[in-house]
Structure 1
Amino acid sequence: MFVILVYDVNQKRVAKALKTCRAYLNWVQNSVFEGEMTEANFKILKMKLEKIIDTSEDSIIIYTFRSTKYSRREIMGVEKNELTQFI
């Protein structure tokens, strides 16, 4: 599945959220991540983030797609983190 994850987390917890998300997804910019992942890793990521955030003040939005077949990615302005392909 393809995942886009966006978070707005209190500064006290942002380093842990960043490190956790980077372990599973590609950092795109500031609090935005994207990438392909398995269903199992998706569940693990969500469980880890649930332990980090405070649901009374933090927010995470996750968009999931079956594939990127019908999607297009367009960047306007500076690309914060250029995605590279590893073979």
Structure 2
Amino acid sequence: MYVVLVYDISLDDNGRKRWSHVFKICKKYLTHIQNSVFEGEISKVQLVKLQRELDEYIDKQQDSVIIFKSRQERWLDKEFWGVKDDATSFFI
């Protein structure tokens, strides 16, 4: 499946440290495209692993993670307004 993951980590109560952990975990599974936004192809099993890893660092009273799911990237209509920095267009 293709997902877009967006997170908002509060900077209160050790938030910078939590933010750092969340960023590193997301980067293991998805492509970083903008500030607190990641996207990419991921299996259901990988998504469960990602959620389990994030659960350790997300403060459910202060932080939020939103995942938008699509069957494939081609079903996602993506537009850029302003600076176009499409990190997903780079292939290694």
- SS of equivalent residue, structure 2 residue 55: helix
- SS of equivalent residue, structure 1 residue 52: coil
Q: Which residue of 2 aligns with 1:53?
A: 58
Normalised by the length of structure 1, the TM-score is 0.89
Q: Which residue of 2 aligns with 1:74?
A: 79
- SS of equivalent residue, structure 1 residue 55: coil
- 1:24-35 equivalences under 5 Å are 24-35=29-40
In structure 1, what is the Cα distance between the partners aligned to 2:86 and 2:24?
15
Note the residue ranges of structure 1 that are not aligned, 5 or more in a row: none
Q: CA deviation at 1:26?
A: 0.5
Contact 2:70 2:76 in 1 (8 A): no
RMSD of Structure 2 on Structure 1 (CA): 1.4
Contact 1:2 1:66 in 2 (8 A): yes
Note the residue ranges of structure 2 that are not aligned, 5 or more in a row: none
Moved beyond 3 Å, runs of 4+: none
Amino acid at match of 1:44: K
